[in-house]
Structure 1
Amino acid sequence: MGVEVIAKPFETKLSAAVLKKAYCEWGEDEERRQQVIEIIRQWVAQQPHLQRTRIDDHGIICFARGCKYSLEKMKTKMDLMFTLRTALPEFFSGWDPLKPEIQAALACGSFLPLPDYDQHGRKVIIMRPGCYDPFNFKPEDIEKASFMISDVMVKDDEQLFVTGMVIVYDCQGFTLNHFTQRPLSLTKKHMYYLQSAPLSPKTIHFIRTNSVFQTIHSAMSALVNDKMKQRLKVHGPEMQSLYQDIDRKILPKDYGGEGKSLAELTDIWKKKVEENRDFLMETEKNLRVDESRRLGKAKTAQDIFGIEGSFRKLNVD
């Protein structure tokens, strides 16, 4: 079976200012975009284990920008991302937004990209690990909902791969039960997956922290390298220092901002995911590898993750 590529000409939707930034940083122009698309298509076609993988031009360009147009880095990250999507069914299987458990997880609002960019042009994503009852929800379902929202976001957003993104980690409602009910192995796998992504957050802001925060902070710090640790910023219960980093005009009303409320954002993203049901269910099937056809030794989940606790730390560019 030959590799399936969506033969759709790539047309960038970026503004002139953002395109200028891409050109200044990586020499990106129409010719270079087309060159990298053709090179990666040819490379994918030569990989037996990727023959069932479908990736469109938009996906290739997202990787190119996230990897600063380094072809070798693109190949490594693409292979790793598709491999992990295959090896992590707890995150990347059962992607039907209409399943009751996914509907319930989406209604929690644990992963909420803001519709506007901050004053630096960056995408801002709100993460809320304490927004659900840890005894009534499986953390795997919360993660699935978050990854589904992320894929829908990436499908419709080019700019974040040029200007970057920041994460606001809202700790309100997070209890020790959230921590103990979530297997550490799940957190480790989640962090491991992040290293395959073509884009890392510029900063992770912790807000509305509570007495359990130190446990979260210590656990996360143990899984990342020194470069990422430097990107973690703790604001505590007050918001003034956050406003210095992110324009309050785009922040939710819940944070003293002028943007849509968390409840409104939750409804918006739930509907977006439902509207993209076909896309998500196709993505679940198509962004995978066939390990039986990999040149050399096939990669199993045990090969990737090893014995419990032997994960590598997150690599950040």
Structure 2
Amino acid sequence: MGVTTVTTTKPFETQLSPALLKKAQCELGEDEERRQQVIEIIRQWVAQQPHLQRIRMDDYGIICFARGCKYSLEKMKTKMDLMFTLRTALPEFFAGWDPLKPQIQAALACGSFLPLPYYDQHGRKVIVMRPGCYDPFRHKPEDIEKANFMISDVMVLNDEQLFVTGMVIIYDCEGFTLNHFTQRPLSLTKKHMYYLQSAPLSPKTIHFIRTTSVFQTVHNVMTNFINDKMKQRLKVHGPNVESLYQDIDRKILPKDYGGDGMSLAELTDMWKKKVEEKRDFLMESEKNLRVDESRRPGKAKTAQDIFGIEGSFRKLNVD
């Protein structure tokens, strides 16, 4: 998950409930004084980085990073620099961010990335991902990923709770075929997973449901790109969804999964409209969340430096 914000003159005022503020204090060591201190320190640090002068972050964005990094200043600096560097080096994900482009409209209409509107019984954000929801011969995987990242950026705009309670991901594998796997360059998947390590938040658990016959083959390939800590967070439920109810409150799950929540079709329409409404914000983000490599102290970083020709990738690093 990335954090992208726009500059504002308003001082940061948390909207967390008293219960969540207490949780942030107990688990993250957060209080009002520490919030203000980290905002000031990070602003001063960014001002001293010549290559980050295009970056626009408000206090909310800094606090999201702080919470996701458990208020470790060094970790914040590392993740911020890496995330914005990658957003610059990965035009296949972060360029052409106009949700009204026909190919992006078509990708949004697929419903590949669907955050649920309610939190689970542990207060966590639940995100449904559907890698088999589109025709791999009609849609480019890059367009699907662009749509997904746009939804992600819109999702975090007003969701402070996410960065305190965390998130879980449901991978709905229904419809996923070998064609989805073969039509998606492996280098694209590796870059995607590399980017995830720069985000200030990683999933608590990843649930795989409605798995298909090709799932195990793909699963074996994918787990080669992640470390043991993330592997322990993977939970395979098989072709059914009933065992998912033990982990996530059935009431908030989509009707398609036997829950009481919005259907997948309704969620798809809702997020498509939300992204369209935030068109100006997203297009500004594309321009203003980039690193100026010509001004980076030392050697500038290129995509080839980071990924190599076919990608010499580090494993996904999660905390």
Superposition TM-score, scaled by structure 1 size: 0.98
Letter of the 2:244 counterpart = L
Match of 2:64 among 52, 62, 65: 62
Match of 1:21 among 20, 23, 28: 23
Letter of the 2:97 counterpart = W
Q: What is the RMSD of the two structures over their aligned residues, measured on CA atoms?
A: 0.9
Hey, what does 2:212 align to over in structure 1?
210
Hey, what does 1:315 align to over in structure 2?
317
Hey, what does 1:35 align to over in structure 2?
37
Q: Offset at 1:7? A: 2.7
Hey, what does 2:98 align to over in structure 1?
96
1:281-296 alignment, distance < 5 Å: 281-296=283-298
Hey, what does 1:261 align to over in structure 2?
263
Residues 126 and 54 (structure 1), Cα distance of their counterparts in 2 relative to 1, 3 Å cut: same
Letter of the 1:173 counterpart = G
Q: Offset at 1:216? A: 2.2
| Percent of aligned pairs with the same amino acid | 87
Letter of the 1:250 counterpart = I
- Counterpart secondary structure, 2:118: strand
Hey, what does 1:192 align to over in structure 2?
194
Q: Deviations over 1:123-166 (max 9, x none)?
A: 00000000000000000000000000000001121101000000
Letter of the 2:77 counterpart = K
Match of 2:232 among 230, 234, 237: 230
Q: Is the 8 A contact 1:6 1:54 kept in 2?
A: no
Letter of the 1:204 counterpart = I
Q: Deviations over 1:152-199 (max 9, x none)?
A: 001121101000000000000000000000000000000000000000
Unaligned runs of 5+ in 2: 1-5
Q: Offset at 1:27? A: 1.9
- Counterpart secondary structure, 2:202: coil
Hey, what does 2:182 align to over in structure 1?
180
Q: Distance in 1 between matches of 2:217 and 2:108?
A: 26
| Higher deviation after alignment, 204-213 or 8-17 | 8-17
Q: Distance in 1 between matches of 2:90 and 2:140?
A: 15
Match of 1:167 among 127, 147, 169: 169
| Higher deviation after alignment, 23-32 or 246-255 | 23-32
Q: Offset at 1:5? A: 4.9
Q: Distance in 1 between matches of 2:198 and 2:23?
A: 24
Letter of the 2:145 counterpart = E
Hey, what does 1:243 align to over in structure 2?
245
Q: Offset at 1:271? A: 0.3
Hey, what does 2:145 align to over in structure 1?
143
Hey, what does 2:223 align to over in structure 1?
221
Q: Distance in 2 between matches of 1:95 and 1:267?
A: 19
Q: Distance in 2 between matches of 1:215 and 1:78?
A: 34
Post-superposition, which runs of at least 4 consecutive aligned residues in structure 1 deviate over 4 A?
none
Q: Is the 8 A contact 1:124 1:168 kept in 2?
A: yes
Q: Is the 8 A contact 1:112 1:125 kept in 2?
A: yes
Q: Distance in 2 between matches of 1:297 and 1:6?
A: 32
Q: Distance in 1 between matches of 2:309 and 2:280?
A: 36
Q: Distance in 2 between matches of 1:216 and 1:111?
A: 19
Unaligned runs of 5+ in 1: none
